[in-house]
Amino acid sequence: MLDITEKLILSYFNADNINIASFGNLLPQVHWHIMARFETDSYFPEPMWGQKQREAQLGLPSFEVFFTQLQNKL
Give 33-62 pLDDT, tens digit per residue: 899 999 999 999 998 889 999 999 999 999
Residue 22: which pLDDT band, with cuts at 50, 70 and 90? confident
Residue 70: which pLDDT band, with cuts at 50, 70 and 90? very high
Helices (H), 1-74: 2-13, 63-73
Full-model pTM: 0.82
Measured between alpha carbons, how far is 23 from 27 in angstroms, rounded to an integer?
Answer: 8
Residue 41: what pLDDT?
95
Measured between alpha carbons, how far is 9 from 67 in angstroms, rounded to an integer?
Answer: 10
Residue 8: what pLDDT?
97
